[in-house]
């Protein structure tokens, strides 16, 4: 069977990037983390000393900057105007402002156009918030991956503890995740929601391997295995 596209959407900490990367690896597909693109714009806005409220300046800056995504064995490297920002875009300072930047319509239009272009060649596993509803509405397989807020906060907490970057308590992390869920679900343009034809997977009590195996099983039954 020819290459096809997989859209994985869901809230923060549901496991989208981990699972999308592993599924792409198993199928020999390319993984695209669209959240990293919104984070890259947020990084550049901060570098230039702009506030997310300065919308027209933010939009002009986003139109001038160059974002490159380079697929690697570990996932994806992100460059802004030639600077490797892969790590820098994961800091709390970026996480705190990214949803505000992502609610600006002109920024979404710009990034969505780039994402649609990436999906044209097929063989893409793309994760985000609006992939199945807006970016690749014709994706052959759509997954809406979720988990309870407490489980998602716990996962993020463990992740930060093991990388030695834990500056928040578990409660603060849960509040931050709930705040971002709220912003992402209630924004006017392309809010986070399950596409009508997306398969809902609640991963609260599932391991990473269980989720990956289930998605690979769906690939086989829905589109014939991918290769």
Flag whether 11 is marked binding: yes
225: which residues sit within 8 A by CB, 6+ positions away?
1, 219
| DSSP string of 57-98, one letter each residue | HHHHHHHH--EEEEEETTEEEEEETTEE-TTGGGSHHHHHHH
- Residue 196 has φ and ψ, to the nearest 5°, of -55, -35
Interface positions, 1-40, toward ligand CDP (CB under 6 A): 10, 12-18, 34-35, 38-39
Binding string, residues 80-119; x marks residues near ligand CDP by CB under 6 A: ------------------xx--x-----------------
Binding string, residues 138-177; x marks residues near ligand CDP by CB under 6 A: -----------------xx--x------------------
Residues of the chain by 3-state class (helix, strand, coil), percent to 5: 50, 15, 35
Residue 38 or 43: which CB sits closer to ligand CDP?
38
Flag whether 132 is marked binding: no
Residue 70 or 208: which CB sits closer to ligand CDP?
208
Residue 34 or 76: which CB sits closer to ligand CDP?
34
Residue 105 or 225: which CB sits closer to ligand CDP?
105
Contact with ligand CDP (CB under 6 A): which of 128, 133, 141, 142? 128
Crossing angle of helices 35-47 and 105-119, rounded to 10°: 130
Go through the chain and tell me how many residues it has: 227
Name 143's bridge partners: 8, 199
Contact window for ligand CDP (CB under 6 A) among 44-52, 127-135, 164-172, 216-224? 127-135
Q: Are 183 and 192 in contact (CB under 8 A)?
A: no
Flag whether 164 is marked binding: no
Name 78's bridge partners: 69
Looking up tokens 């693109």, which residue turns up?
37
Quick check: 203 binds ligand CDP (CB under 6 A)?
yes
Residue 27 or 103: which CB sits closer to ligand CDP?
103
Residue 13 or 52: which CB sits closer to ligand CDP?
13
Q: Are 97 and 52 in contact (CB under 8 A)?
A: yes
Q: Are 119 and 5 in contact (CB under 8 A)?
A: yes
Quick check: 75 binds ligand CDP (CB under 6 A)?
no
Which amino acids are annotated as binding site for ATP, given as ranges?
10-18
Point out which residues bind ligand CDP (CB under 6 A): 10, 12-18, 34-35, 38-39, 98-99, 102, 128-130, 155-156, 159, 180, 184, 203, 206-208, 211
């Amino acid at each position: 069977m020819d290459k096809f596209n997989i859209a994985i959407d869901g809230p923060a900490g549901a496991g989208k990037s981990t699972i999308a990367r592993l599924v792409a690896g198993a199928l020999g597909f390319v993984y695209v983390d669209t959240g990293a693109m919104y984070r890259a714009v947020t990084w550049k806005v901060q570098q230039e000393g702009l506030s997310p409220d300065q919308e027209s300046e933010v939009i002009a800056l986003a139109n001038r900057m160059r974002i490159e995504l380079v697929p690697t064995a570990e996932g994806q490297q992100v460059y802004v105007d030639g600077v490797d920002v892969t790590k820098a875009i994961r800091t709390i300072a970026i996480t705190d402002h990214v949803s505000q930047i992502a609610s600006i319509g002109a920024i979404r239009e710009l990034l969505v156009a780039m994402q649609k272009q990436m999906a044209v060649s097929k063989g893409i596993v793309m994760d985000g918030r609006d992939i199945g509803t807006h970016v690749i509405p014709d994706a052959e397989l759509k997954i809406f991956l979720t988990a309870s807020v407490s489980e998602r906060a716990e996962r993020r907490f463990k992740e930060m503890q093991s990388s030695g970057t834990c500056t928040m308590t578990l409660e603060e992390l849960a509040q931050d995740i709930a705040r971002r869920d709220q912003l992402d679900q209630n924004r006017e343009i392309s809010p986070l929601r399950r596409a009508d034809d997306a398969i809902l997977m609640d991963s609260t009590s599932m391991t990473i391997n269980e989720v990956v195996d289930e998605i690979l099983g769906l690939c086989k039954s829905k589109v014939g295995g991918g290769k």
